[in-house]
Amino acid sequence: MNHLLNLTKKELRELLTPGAVVSVLVMVFLFMGIGSVAGNAVDEATALSKIGIVNGDPSGHWSEFALDFIYEAYGSNASEYIVMLDTPYGNNEEIMKEMIEKGLNTAYGMGPGFTASINAKTQTTIDEYYIFTNNGLLGSAASAVSPLIIQLISQSISKELISTVTDPSAADFILHPIKDPTMQGSPDTRHTYVKGEVYDGVSPAELSAALMSQTMMVPIVIMMIIMVIGTMVISSMGSEKENKTLETLLTMPVRRTTIVSGKLLAAAIVGLVYGMAYMVGMSFYMGGIMGSVGSIDLQDYGLSLGLTDWILIAVMIFLAIFCALGLCMILGAFTKNYKAAQTMMLPISVLAMIPMFITMFTSWGSLPALMQAFLFAIPFSHPMMVMSNLMFGNMTLVLAGIAYLSVFTLVIIFITVKLYKSDILLTGIGQTKAAKTFKAFGVKRRP
Amino acid sequence: METLTIKDVRKSYGEIEAVKGINFSVEEGEVFGLIGPNGSGKTTTLRMISTLLRLTTGSITVCGRDVAGEPDDVRKVISYLPEDAGAYKGLTGRSYLKFMAGFFADGEEFEKMVQKGMEIADLGDRIDSKIETYSKGMMRRLLIARAIMPSPKIAIMDEVTSGLDVVNAYEIREIIRGIAQKGVTVLLSSHNMFEVDMLCDRIAMINEGRIVLTGTPAELKEQYGAANLEEVFVRAVKE
């Protein structure tokens, strides 16, 4: 036989183990799942959404003109998607309340002097009203496109003015009859409702960017810690088995619970040290790339964290690390040597990646109930969501997460101790009832 | 006085029965050899005695303590040295002995135990070298020292001289002989029939999970009219 072919076949046989094939399939399904969630978020963000209109200039020519433009843009959907608000212009808090009542996230308002200003050839403004819900990367898309909508209204008015106004000194006004709210020096015409308060001069897109700069590094850091310490623990188990140090350790006059706890505690401490180091590094990195985008101070908008919040975050991260380590020790119990240990990390990586991607693209509140249950069940989701949950006062989810992680940790430690007391640690899955189950599904055990 | 008693012990791995109802006992201070071909159930038996594997049926008593019911107590009086055992390679020999001694003693007793371990290992200055730099012989001396330094009631050693050169194997046999003279019971398994003949007071031969022979080396040689244990072994396996 051709030597190259012979060698290649042998290598393929060694590389394409059932575990490796399952790994590839899991990754495919994982990305399909994440793609579906991200796709839904994009669809929601780009779908036609309801808007509210506050017309403080009801009989004015130019306000009617702007309204016609918006109605025309919405076409046949206009009656369904455009809601005229009853609250008079100027009472921002009441406008926000009416928006919440009517399920609106975005509204535009024209003041009493809208037509008069344009007639007097002075720039005017269109107010923007937003209800800020923390819906991830794509949740604030509406506020990001609002300046464009205002610009289009401005352009349509501009076209009309060109045919009627001939005064050359009014050229600037004719080109920009409505002020761009994003330009420096523009009046605070953007009003955003955040946690029961109305803040002027800020849009959800800006708040989201600032939030992302602070909360985005938590999921990334947690995923990195889990992968690093998980690999360490599983490899250490593989190495202990390969060198038979585990056999010696298990015959020492010490309770199995103590051995398990010692291993968990040491790895958790290493994990925390890694975590702090990554946090510092990542904060510099994120500060560098997001600094210009997220230049607003979240504290000004009631979105800050106090000492208790940071303690809760630390508790949650510590519990999540324990869960990860416990899971790794369980998987490590089934590994036979150092090499096999490397592939055992995949399920943990997948469990860490799913919530990381989901929390990046969308948020807890915008997920369907089934996805919420799925996300809640993954222990690593909780520390990834905790910062924004604390900022938005979603304490039920935070406390439920801590309770869940505590129970999960205890169960995992219990299972790990059970495994350490069983034969599986030495004989592997190949000799147990579980092996029969795998066999029934046609999965061969490794020799 | 019996240090180890094994009564009708069976061990199954799923559908495979590795040990099929074995019985034997080992007296205090005795060097007892468990011999048999590969896959005969030797290591499984040693692991069950060492509390590493659970018994399917039967009972094992070590110094009056039941292995299944009181594993934590059993671990206080045994010392197990697995075949091809290793040590934590990042540690030095001294740190390794300290780590292991920490499970048995503290204070002055701990210091004495570590000192005893270092004397048994007899590695000179290399006791402070990283274990990853040790030769196989040095490693085995360190592991023997680890196994003996806590003064166990019974030392269980699986293929203790396997792969060692003549000098290292000889020195390790001398160590085993020395501890037996001090009253430690030794249960060892080996494929080296010369070693078994030299060291063991009594032997049990296990084949396909069953004890097929027991007796002193002299009794067995006489029984088979054989010149050495190797011949006894081959004939017993083929019967």
| Region of poorest pLDDT, from A147-151, A408-412, B29-33 | A147-151
- What residues of A are in contact with residue B89 (Cβ under 8 Å)? 243
Distance CA A336, CA A426 (A): 8
Give the whole-angstrom CA distance, residue A346 versus residue B210.
42
Q: Which residue of A has its CA nearest to B79?
A: A251
Q: Tell me which chain B residues have a C-beta less than 8 angstroms from the C-beta of A433.
A: 14
Contact yes or no for B75 and A253 at CB 8 A: yes
Residue A184 pLDDT: 62
SS3 content of chain B, % helix, strand, coil (to 5): 40, 25, 30
**Model confidence pLDDT, tens digit, residues A96-130:** 899 889 888 888 899 898 899 888 888 888 988 88
Q: Which residues contact B71 (CB under 8 A, 6 or more apart)?
A: B51
pLDDT at B168 over 50: yes
Q: What is the C-alpha to C-alpha distance for residues A190 and A229, in angstroms, rounded to an integer?
A: 46
- pLDDT grade, residue A38 (50/70/90)? low
| Confidence (pTM) | 0.70
Task: Give the SS3 label for residue B215.
Answer: strand
pLDDT of A386 reads 87
State the nearest Cα–Cα gap between A251 and chain B, in angstroms. Answer: 6
Per-residue pLDDT reduced to its tens digit, B79-117: 999 988 889 988 999 999 999 999 999 899 999 999 999
What does the pLDDT average to over B54-79? 93
What is the tens place of the pLDDT at every residue in A184-208?
A: 666 678 888 877 778 887 777 777 7
Residue A138: the pLDDT is: 58
The pLDDT of residue B221 is 92
Asked if pLDDT for residue A412 goes beyond 80, the answer is yes
* pLDDT for residue A434 is more than 70: no
Rg of chain A over Cα atoms, rounded to whole angstroms, equals 29
Selecting from B51, B76, B86 the residue whose C-beta is nearest the C-beta of A245 gives B86
The helix/strand/coil state of A363 is coil
- A-contacting residues of B 167-196, CB under 8 Å? none
Work out the pLDDT band at A447, boundaries 50, 70, 90: very low
- What confidence score (pLDDT) does residue B102 get? 92
Length of chain A counted residue by residue? 447
pLDDT exceeds 50 at position A294 = no
- What whole-number distance in Å separates Cα of residue A48 and Cα of residue A42? 12
Q: How many CB atoms lie within 10 A of CB B55?
A: 18
Q: What is the pLDDT of residues B200-232, one digit of tens each?
A: 999 999 999 999 999 999 999 999 998 899 999
Taking 80 as the threshold, does the pLDDT of residue B131 lie above it? yes
Tell me the C-alpha distance between A412 and A209, whole Å: 37
- CA of A241 vs chain B CAs: smallest distance (Å): 10
Instruction: Say if residue B59 is exposed, middle or buried (CB neighbours under 10 Å; 0-12, 13-18, 19+).
Output: middle
d(CA B82, CA B105): 23
**Architecture of B2-85+152-238 per CATH?**
3-Layer(aba) Sandwich (3.40)
Cα four-point dihedral sign B152, B213, B13, A240: positive
Contacts with B106 (C-beta within 8 Å, 6 or more apart), sequence order: none
Average per-residue pLDDT for chain B: 92
- Tokens in use for A442? 């046609």
Query: Is the CB of B13 less than 8 angstroms away from the CB of A422?
Result: no
- For residue A257, give the nearest of A336, A319, A321, A329 by alpha carbon: A329
More confident residue, A132 or B121: B121
> Where in the sequence of chain A do the CATH 3.40.1710.10 domains occur?
44-202
Beta-sheet pairing, A82-84 with A51-55: parallel
With H, G, I as helix, E, B as strand and everything else as coil, classify residue B67: coil
Lowest-confidence segment of A108-117, A357-366, A378-387 by average pLDDT:
A357-366
**Both structure tokens of A56:** 């403080």
Closest CA to A113 of A187, A204, A164, A182: A187
Residues 6+ positions from A289 with CB-CB distance below 8 Å: none
Nearest Cα residue to A135 out of A380, A361, A383, A294: A361
The string of pLDDT tens digits covering residues A390-399 is: 887 788 999 9
User: End-to-end distance of chain A based on CA atoms, in angstroms?
Assistant: 26
- What is the arithmetic mean of pLDDT over A239-261? 86
Residue A134 binned pLDDT confidence (cut-offs 50, 70, 90): low
Q: What is the pLDDT, as a whole number, of residue A82?
A: 87
CB B197 within 8 A of CB B41: no
Query: How far B156 CA sits from the closest chain A CA (Å)?
Result: 11
Please tell me which residue of chain B has the smallest CA distance to A433: B14
pLDDT at residue B119 above 90?
A: yes
| Nearest CA among B152, B186, B160 for reference residue B65 | B152
Give the CATH architecture of domain A44-202. Answer: 3-Layer(aba) Sandwich (3.40)
Q: Do B52 and A431 touch (CB under 8 A)?
A: no
Q: By C-alpha distance, which of A237, A417, A445 is closest to A331?
A: A237
Confidence check: pLDDT of A70 > 60: yes
How many other C-beta atoms lie within 10 A of the C-beta of residue B234? 14
Bigger pLDDT: B162 or B60? B60
Taking the C-alpha atoms of residue A401 and residue A271, their distance in angstroms, rounded to an integer, is 20
* Mean per-residue pLDDT, B114-129: 94
Which range, of A231-235, A398-402, B143-147, averages the lowest pLDDT?
A231-235
Residue of chain A nearest B56, judged by CA positions: A423
Question: Which of A240, A244, A246, A251 is the mutation pick for testing B, counting most B CBs within 10 A?
Answer: A251
Minimal Cα distance from B12: which residue of A?
A: A431
Lowest mean pLDDT among A206-220, A256-270, A293-307, B111-125: A293-307
Other Cβ atoms less than 10 A from the Cβ of A59: the count is 8
The answer for residues whose C-beta is within 8 angstroms of residue A287's C-beta and 6 or more apart is: A213
pLDDT at residue number A73: 83
Rounded Cα–Cα distance for residues A320 and A326 (Å):
10
State the DSSP H helix or E strand holding residue B119, giving kind and residue range, or none if neither.
Answer: helix B107-121
Q: Angle at the Cα of A440 (from A436 to A441), degrees rounded to 5?
A: 120
Q: Which of A254, A411, A407, A232 is nearest to A332 (CA)?
A: A232
Mean of pLDDT over chain A:
80
| Assigned token pair, A106 | 């975005």
pLDDT single digits (tens) A298-313: 667 767 777 888 888 8
d(CA A349, CA A187): 48
